Each structure stands twice: as structure tokens, then as C-alpha cells.
A and B are shown apart, each in its own frame.
Chain A
């Protein structure tokens, strides 16, 4: 095998059965194949280490277009596999020098990985984001402004400004409490729940404060039920704009940290 060849891992499954992956391509358009590893099966493709080795990756990941292409190619393979069998997505940029060295690493974690596959089997991930709606949930909204006569224009301005600031703070508090309640409720509906950090407004393009960025692991056949819970929560919480994404392969629940908050 050439020294320049590496193996890119997409996902781990217990058994892909007779799934036909022959038309599936991954990063850099390479043919996806299965590789046995410690009694499990890994979806992989071969990559050129001149482009996907560590030093090259560090350099290339700084290029947003390159990163986007890579993330989407990685996801396409995982999403296609997830339709066919239960799987654990692997973190982006997991690269080995050969199938054999990959099998050696996985061998040490076989039981843990098999248990994780059990947890996510038959389930999908739904994403729920909540944004604070600035005008909503302000009890003082629409109030009369203090009359200017009560001590001059300057004082009136200060009073107005103070009222504005406290209304903003109240609005934030109300949105945070709402997001907390929504998360508690949806966690109760899910097998597991996980919180992602709020997305940067610069990156998402949405300037409103993000109060919740959560993922929920839900039975695959309960998608409609979960979506209607989210819709009901949206009706109950006019101070929030709730945004549902999915179904996703179980990215947020593939890890070994047991921080389910269900």
C-alpha cells in the first residue's frame, strides 16, 4: 500500500447486512467501502494523505469552502448509511493509515461501541433551536412614556432609558426561562438529550439571541409526535421562535459521555 494512502472513517455499524453501497461516494469523490474492525463494520473510503493527512487537514480546514465540501461529503455517506442500518457517525477527520491499524484501535473499544449502537438503534436525532423574540414577553411593552413635565426632558429620557433596559432584561429572563421549560419538556419526550453551545450570530446569520441549541434522541417512528410537541411548545411560548431540524443521524449521541438529561 502506498505511503500516501489513508483510510477515512465515516461511521461504525454492527452489521451492514447486504446493503449495497457500490454507488456511494465520499470525500473527494472516492468510492465508499466497508471494512471489518473488531467484530464491527466501518464505512470508509481511501483518501490521499497529501490532502487529508494531519498537516494538510489543518491547512485545508481553514478554507471555509473546503470545510463545507468536506462536511457535506462526510454527512452524505453517514445519512445514506443511516437509512439502511443503525450506525454511529465518527467525528469529522478520523483518519488511519490502513484498515488494520483502524481495527486495532477499535478493538480496544469494542464493547463500548456496541453498547452505543444499541442505544441509538431505531432512533433518530432532532435538533431544536430557540431564539428570543425581542418584542415579546415584555410586560411593559406599549406602556405610556413618563411625561416630560416631571422634572425636565433629561430626567424623562433617563427614566425612559431605564424602563427600556429593564424591559430588555425582563425579556431575556423570560426567554431564558421559556427555553429552559421547553428543553425540560422535550427531554422528557426523548430517550436522551444533549445541549450544543449557542451558535454564533455571525455564523448563523441570525442576530437574535439563541436561547437553546439542543439535540434529542427520539424513536424513529415518533418523529411526527415529537414535531407536534415542538409545535405545541411554540404556541405556549410566544417569547421564543422555535426551529426544528432533522431527522439527523445520531451525531450528538454517538459519544461516550453519558450526559443524557432526560
Chain B
């Protein structure tokens, strides 16, 4: 077996979508239109901030399981 199918019918709730796949799209995809309020949140910035959150959370989990 070398395929994993995750054929999501259109009505699949987003809870079943892997967060990492969703973040690929909402953080790095989508049309970039400068929001005047979020003017200086450049693309890379957004991804960097969020990845830092992910990594911090991953290492927090790792520390918990090591305890």
C-alpha cells in the first residue's frame, strides 16, 4: 500500500483537515492584498511568527512527555 487517501468530500468539517496542510495554505496561499491595519505584516513575517508558535508548542509537548 503506498497511497493514503484523504479524499475529503466537500462537506468534511475542517477539524479533520490536518493543521499543517491548512497552514501551508492560509499562511502562504491566498491573494495578498495589503490590509492597512496589518500593513507591515509581510508574508514571510506571518509565516515566521506562526512557525515560531508551532515550534514552541512542539518543544513544549516534547518537554512534557520527557518529564
Contacts and interface: CB of A to CB of B under 8 A. Distances in A.
B2 A133 contact: yes
Interface in A189-247: 196, 199-200, 202-204, 213, 215, 227, 230-231, 234-235, 237-238, 240-247
Interface residues of B, number: 47
B62 to A, nearest CB: 9
A109 B33 contact: yes
A67 interface: yes
Interface string A50-77: 0001100110011110011001101110
Interface string A239-261: 01111111110011111100000
Nearest to A240: B2
A255 B29 contact: yes
Contacts of B17: 72, 75, 245
A115 to B, nearest CB: 12
The main secondary structure of chain A at its interface with chain B is mixed
Contacts of B24: 127, 196, 199, 213
A113 B53 contact: no
Contact of A96 (B6, B28, B36): B36
Interface string A93-130: 11111000110011001000100100000000101000
A227 B33 CA distance: 32
B58 A234 contact: no
A105 B36 contact: yes
A67 B43 CA distance: 16
B34 interface: yes
A62 B52 contact: yes
Interface residues of A, number: 71
Contact of A53 (B22, B31, B37): B37
A248 B37 CA distance: 28
B41 A54 contact: yes
A58 B49 contact: yes
A90 B28 CA distance: 10
Interface in B4-54: 4-8, 10, 14-15, 17-41, 43, 46, 49-54
A161 interface: no
A213 B18 CA distance: 14
A58 B36 contact: no
A179 interface: no
B52 A91 contact: no
Given A75-B26, A242-B2, A242-B3, A91 B14 contact: no
B8 A245 contact: yes
B26 A91 contact: yes
Contact of A62 (B29, B33, B49): B49
Interface of A: 6, 9, 12, 49, 53-54, 57-58, 61-64, 67-68, 71-72, 74-76, 79, 83, 88-97, 101-102, 105-106, 109, 113, 116, 125, 127, 133, 196, 199-200, 202-204, 213, 215, 227, 230-231, 234-235, 237-238, 240-248, 251-256
